[in-house]
């Protein structure tokens, strides 16, 4: 295991990886998609890469390169958005999982940084149910943030994409990438819910690309969100690693009954 203050990642050599022989690896998965006029296309990748490094250092795990493309079909029509098809993303995860398993890794933390990467769930579930040598723990970093300090919720405003929370986190991590003139929330319809993205894309509900009020964002809010993620995310991961230490069998018996 590498020391906690070091990082076994793509900047190291093959002999260094062979010597370390870690059993745990982290694969961050982001997306390359529009984030309105104030955040870069690589927003999800910047965020998940940051938390991926954090998790790898905390656990002494090997850090795989961030997968910079995900499924961003809901952002169709916005220039610059590049999306994989769900089946493509699923196969990429299968291929990477097979490679790390052959190299002796027994656990892979799949750190998701994009809410639209639904295809990760069935792929990971299918791999885990087969009870191979590798087990995958799928975690979305953004579900660990404490949003109590955000104004959107108190004002009854949705904060789903490129809004107060996401913009605040970017102001904390990479303020140099946040453009001025952050847009407020101007949804085109009312009563829109996330499942509706199956029928209507983000361009239908938010023509400016932001489904949230980024004018409420601040660096101070972002720093608090980042700290809460670090605290809650590691607690969540460590608990599930303990569960895997107790049993690595997916089902009741691990095998189909005859």
**pLDDT 10s digits, 205-227:** 999 999 999 999 999 999 999 99
Assigned domain for 94 exists: yes
What's the angle, vertex CA 56, arms to CA 55 and CA 60, rounded to 5?
120
- Report pLDDT for 187: 66
Q: What is the CATH number of the domain that holds 46?
A: 3.40.50.10310
> pLDDT at position 58, please?
97
Rounded to whole angstroms, the Cα distance separating 32 from 43 reads: 8
How much is the pLDDT for 1? 43
pLDDT digit string, tens, across residues 170-205: 999 999 999 998 877 776 777 888 889 999 999 999
Task: For residue 137, tell me if it sits in a domain.
Answer: yes
pLDDT for residue 257: 54
What range does the domain containing 168 cover? 21-189+198-243
Q: Is 218 exposed, middle or buried (0-12, 13-18, 19+ CB in 10 A)?
A: middle
Q: Which strands form 135-140's sheet, in the order they lie side by side?
A: 62-63, 24-29, 107-112, 135-140
Asked whether residue 2 is assigned to any structural domain, the reply reads no
d(CA 71, CA 39): 19
Tell me the β-bridge partners of 137.
109
Task: Please check whether residue 6 lies inside any domain of the structure.
Answer: no
Query: How many helical (H) and strand (E) elements, i.e. helices and strands, does the chain have?
Result: 8, 4
In this prediction, residue 4 carries a pLDDT of 46
- Through-space distance between the first and last CA atoms of the chain, rounded to whole angstroms: 41
Whether 204 is covered by a domain: the verdict is yes
What's the residue count for the chain? 258
Instruction: State both tokens at 103.
Output: 């190299």
Q: Can you give the pLDDT at residue 131?
A: 96
Contact 115, 143 (CB under 8 A): no
Q: Is residue 66 part of a domain?
A: yes
Note the Cα 45 to chain centre separation in Å.
Answer: 8
Residue 168 within a domain:
yes
Between CA 239 and CA 229 the distance in angstroms is 15
In the chain, % helix, strand, coil (3-state, to 5) comes to 45, 10, 45
Would the CA dihedral through 162, 192, 70, 153 be positive or negative?
positive
* Sequential pLDDT tens for the chain (258 residues): 444 458 999 999 999 999 999 999 999 999 999 999 999 999 999 999 999 999 999 999 999 999 999 999 999 999 999 999 999 999 999 999 999 999 999 999 999 999 999 999 999 999 999 999 999 999 999 999 998 889 988 888 889 999 999 999 999 999 999 999 887 777 677 788 888 999 999 999 999 999 999 999 999 999 999 999 999 999 999 999 999 999 999 997 645 554
Angle between the N-to-C axes of helices 43-59 and 219-246, in degrees from 0 to 180, rounded to the nearest 10: 50
Query: What is the number of domains present in the chain?
Result: 1
**Is residue 69 in a domain?**
yes
Give the Cβ contact number of residue 139 at 10 Å. 17
**What tokens were used for 96?**
């990477």
């Amino acid at each position: 295991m590498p020391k906690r203050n070091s990082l076994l990642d793509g900047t190291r050599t093959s002999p260094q990886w062979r010597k370390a022989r870690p059993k745990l690896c982290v694969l961050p998965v982001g997306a390359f998609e529009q984030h309105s006029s104030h955040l870069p296309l690589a927003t999800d990748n910047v965020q998940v890469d940051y938390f991926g490094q954090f998790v790898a250092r905390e656990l002494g795990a090997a850090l795989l390169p961030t997968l910079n493309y995900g499924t961003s079909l809901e952002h169709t029509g916005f220039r610059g958005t590049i999306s994989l098809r769900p089946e493509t993303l699923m196969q990429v995860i299968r291929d990477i999982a097979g490679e790390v398993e052959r190299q002796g890794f027994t656990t892979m933390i799949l750190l998701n940084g994009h809410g639209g990467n639904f295809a990760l769930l069935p792929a990971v579930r299918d791999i885990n149910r087969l009870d191979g040598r590798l087990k995958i723990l799928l975690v979305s970093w953004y579900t660990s943030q404490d949003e109590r300090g955000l104004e959107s919720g108190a004002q009854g405003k949705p904060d789903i994409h490129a809004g107060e929370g996401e913009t605040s986190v970017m102001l904390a991590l990479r303020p140099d990438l946040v453009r001025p003139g952050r847009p407020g929330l101007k949804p085109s319809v009312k009563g829109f819910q996330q499942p509706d993205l199956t029928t209507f894309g983000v361009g239908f509900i938010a023509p400016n690309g932001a489904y949230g009020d980024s004018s409420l964002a601040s660096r101070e809010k972002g720093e608090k969100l980042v700290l809460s993620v670090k605290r809650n995310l590691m607690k969540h991961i460590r608990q599930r690693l303990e569960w895997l230490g107790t049993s690595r069998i997916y089902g009741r018996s691990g095998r189909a009954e005859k």
